[in-house]
Amino acid sequence: VSRIASIDGRIGPLEEAVVPVLDRGFLYGDGIFDTLRVYGGRPFASEEHLARLARSAAALRITLPVTSSELLREVKEAIDAAREPEAYVRVMITRGAAREASLAPPSGLRATRVILVEPVRPPSRETYARGLKAITLAWGRGNDASLGSAAKLLSYVTSVVALEEARAHAADEAIFVGPDDRVREATASNVFVLDAAGNLLTPSEGPGVLGGITRGHVLELACALGLSCAVESVPKAAFATAREVFLTSSVREIMSVVRIDGVAIGAGVPGDTARSLHRALRLRAGARGPAPWE
């Protein structure tokens, strides 16, 4: 076993895991999730991820069916059951399964909880070595509802379509830009820019910008490495003169972007700042082995 699903506390093989069609997560995308990574059998920043999960649930007025500490215990049980030291964990909470499909949630529903554990599938060594090509898109998550920025809502259809759009432009990733031409985030990661003066910038969390856990760790590490770093609004025009651009997320850790809308960033190869921060992040997470681009 290395692919596990725990549904409402019952652990079984992922291939056999099912939730009812009347579950509101399936019917309406009425739920939230969080993703974390396991290094050497130990989840990294699990408390931060479960705290964000609880905030996401609160934003949707979903009552968690068990306490956060019980949920953490179930997450660890699922990780142990998978016996997969380098794993990806996805914790999902839906508002629950009703007796009939009706948009207004009936009272007395009990939220469904699903924990998936699988071997992590990070991008290839070549991808890390080369960096990504991205396009910018003037739309994105959280444009229509303030909910969408605070919470990791189940539906990522916006990001899915954005990735299709990127692919149609022979790119790997899409970066969302707000109507004010301010950089928001990528399809499932936060954006950092090392500007021409050597300042490391990342947009503040808020509408269309998720408060990424990796982002928080990278900011701390950047300060510790003596970089000048700031959480502030970043205009799209900053890409034109940036020395480096990189993305952060639990699964990909740090991934350089070397070309945006067809224009090279800096020298057009992954930069030294991204590399140093990536090494520091992996050290903090307890990752073993060579850096992913080596």
Ligand X SMILES: Cc1ncc(COP(=O)(O)O)c(C=O)c1O
Chain residues that interact with ligand X, rule: CB under 6 A: 35, 141, 185, 188-190, 210, 212-215, 248-250
Cβ distance to ligand X smaller for residue 81 or 248: 248
- Give least dist CB 285 to ligand X, A: 11
- Give least dist CB 157 to ligand X, A: 12
- Give least dist CB 109 to ligand X, A: 26
DSSP secondary structure of the chain: ---EEEETTEEEEGGG----TTBHHHHH--EEEEEEEEETTEESSHHHHHHHHHHHHHHTTPPPSS-HHHHHHHHHHHHHHHT-SSEEEEEEEES-B-SS--SSPPTT---EEEEEEEE--PPPHHHHHH-EEEEEES--TTSS-THHHHS-BS--HHHHHHHHHHHHTT-SEEEEE-TTSBEEEESSSEEEEE-TTS-EEEPPSBTTB---HHHHHHHHHHHHTT--EEE---BTTHHHH-SEEEEEETTTEEEEEEEETTEE-TTSS--HHHHHHHHHHHHHHT--SS-TT-
The whole-angstrom distance between residue 143's C-alpha and the CA centroid of its chain comes to: 18
- Give least dist CB 280 to ligand X, A: 15
Cβ distance to ligand X smaller for residue 215 or 282: 215
Cβ distance to ligand X smaller for residue 111 or 163: 163
Cβ distance to ligand X smaller for residue 96 or 184: 184
Cβ distance to ligand X smaller for residue 82 or 188: 188
- Give least dist CB 10 to ligand X, A: 26
Cβ distance to ligand X smaller for residue 185 or 195: 185
- Give least dist CB 49 to ligand X, A: 7
